[in-house]
Amino acid sequence: MGWMAWTLPTALFFAGIALLLVAMTVWQTVSPGRERKGFLPLTTSRGDRLFIGLLASAYGHLLVLALTDWPLWVATAICATGMAIIMKWG
């Protein structure tokens, strides 16, 4: 595993993603969600919204890094809010 050059932050990041996927699976099994249409211009399931949220967050972080000098947690905070909005009303 040495060649993979693990660091604590990236390990936490991937653990978080894995947990998120497990949680989504459990949630879907316990109370199945249906596809619906929110403010996004397409019908989405929970999983779709999660993906859209994550992808948008990735782009959000890159934008902040490219265009501003803000510390990264600001970007994370904004993206987390956006993510919640997409999950709830998207």
Residue ranges that bind other proteins, judged by CB under 8 A? 2-7, 9-10, 13-14, 25, 28-29, 42, 45, 47-48, 51, 55, 58-59, 61-62, 65-66, 72
Q: Cα 65 to the chain's mean position, in Å?
A: 18
Name the residue nearer to other proteins (CB basis): 17 or 84: 17
What tokens does 16 get?
Answer: 């978080």
Q: How far is the CB of 72 from other proteins (least distance, A)?
A: 6
* For other proteins, the closer CB: 5 or 31: 5
Q: How far is the CB of 89 from other proteins (least distance, A)?
A: 19
Shortest reach from residue 17's CB to other proteins, in Å: 10
Q: How far apart are CA 90 and CA 85, in angstroms?
A: 7
Could you give the CA distance from residue 9 to residue 34 in angstroms, rounded to a whole number? Answer: 34
Contact (Cβ atoms closer than 8 angstroms) between residue 90 and residue 49: yes
Q: Which of 76, 31, 37 is nearest to 56 (CA)?
A: 76
Q: Which is nearer to other proteins, 2 or 88 (CB)?
A: 2
